Structure 1
Amino acid sequence: MKHEAEPPPLLARIPADINLPDKIAYGLTFRQILIITLTGGVAAAIYYLCHQLLPVVILAAILLPLLALGLAVALGRRDGLSLDRFALSALLFARARKRLVAAPEGVAGPPRWCRLRGKLPAPLRLPVQAIRTDGALELADGGVAVLVETSTLSFHLRTTSEQAALVGAFGRWLNSLEAPVQLLARARPADLSDLIHAIEHQADVLPHAALASAARDHAGYLAELNSSRELLTRQVLVVLRDHPPARRGRRSVRRDASAVVVLRRAAEAERALAALGVTTRVLDAEQAAQALTECLDPGGRHPLGQALPDEPIYATAQPSATARNLGRNT
């Protein structure tokens, strides 16, 4: 019997410097050349003005740290940022207020008779202003976005031909995009308490004692795994966005039109990714709010069904047996 030869593995070379700025001269970018030129100009001006007034040792003590600082700022990097941008971000963070409150209309100042110690909190400016009932997110810059949650698949366990088919289908979806799309893959903690409780509850109603014993053993294994390990689950979100053009008309009408467009793109993405064997779903209002809450506070516990700040909370309680008896007697 003759077996067909397996095609060679699929390789695609992607350059690692696709997001780096262009090099102008000597492997340096325009920003680096500008910083080095300004530093050298300042050092030359100091030397020209003070070389007849100060000794060479003092001039060297002044100019060498200045030149070293300029080169470090131009060539150094920290956390993927150049040192000048990193220093600017650190300065803005140091000057920004650390206490933020949800006050879109602004924080009102204290009355004149009240003596304030410290600074007032600043209003919290979030990129999402509102979540529509259809799941569309109204952004602060006037755009509309939709969150689409997708499942994952195993790529390395597929054959070479299957991998090529997956890459081809994914490439066709990317080529069909007519607006920017963000792919977000994040890991979040997993809690097996609900699953353990469900297995223990079902073990009591199983028809055979051996099945019940196996179910309890499995629940014990999950409980030990849940308490001894830090379990993580992976979530992949596709963020589709549309920005309405600036034109005359009511802003709400433009947002409604953008929401229709971005929801249609979400449906198209759902059909395209189904060819890869990936299950997708467009997050509704409650699920989108849950996803945003988990992104803002990754380590906290956020149960579903929370009331919004402007929603009333109604509490209902079942009447006790004494109350029922009193009502029956009366």
Structure 2
Amino acid sequence: MKQVLVTGGSGQVGTELARHRWPEGWEAVALTRADLDLGDPVAIAAKVAERPWAAIVSAGAYTAVDKAESDVVTAWAVNALAPAALAAAAHGAGIPIVHVSTDYVFPGDRDGEWEVDDAVAPLGVYGASKLGGELAVRTACPRHAIVRTAWVVSAHGNNFVKTMLRVGADRPSLRVVADQRGSPTSAADLAAALATLTVRLADDPAAASGTYHFSNAGPTDWHGFAEEIFRQSAARGGPSPTVEPITTADYPTPATRPANSLLSHRAIERDHGIQPRGWQTALGDILDELLGTPHQEKTA
């Protein structure tokens, strides 16, 4: 059995990597914070040396974007130093590493999709610390895939879909930001892409390494995302409040969000043939898990 060390096992992506149907002979070992302290480089090195892993997926991260502005040291320890330790250990063991990064490495200050080789300029501590992790992985382990993603949602943990359903169940109307654009990402779809990259890098020394983007396909904004959540929720008997658009200025936060988080998929399609499906379809699968299938499907 080829085992893959997965960090962030209790997070959305780690949970889906553990649930994912890996190829026969492969197994994801998803480690939680209790299993591995990402703030301890010695513990990381020891865990990688513990058994003959086939690869590492670095999915653990400090994702409290606003809190990171005042918790700088912890954010950098988890988002930059931990990937550095993981990548160094992977290189020493002769195995590849697949590292999850973020759209927050970009300033979000122009229209169109961000390409993998566009100039980075993070707006805050979270994005800067994640960029530090990218640089560490690139320099420490040549056999790597860095996968930037955005707006991750699932039926697990804390995310926008679950927040909308919870708040929408108690209120007849909601106010949601409409001037930040991006593409939602199903954690399950991201996990499938990460698994594909992991197996390919581990099995084929000539497989393409590099930086990639993955989100589900199609643009929207947070307001449009909320409207689609409630449209599909209503079909499943769930909450369906009205959604009022507001601006980012109407909802100030400690950390500045990119106004444009759209990510180009050209590189991952070109090098690995991974083509993301539409975000509305992926959202439907999440809502099926949370609310059940649409009523017409139940009576068909």
What interval of TM-score do these two structures reach, taking the shorter chain for normalisation? under 0.3
TM-score, structure 2 length as denominator? Answer: 0.24
Greater RCO (CA < 8 Å, at least 6 residues apart): 2
Q: Which one has the largest radius of gyration?
A: 1
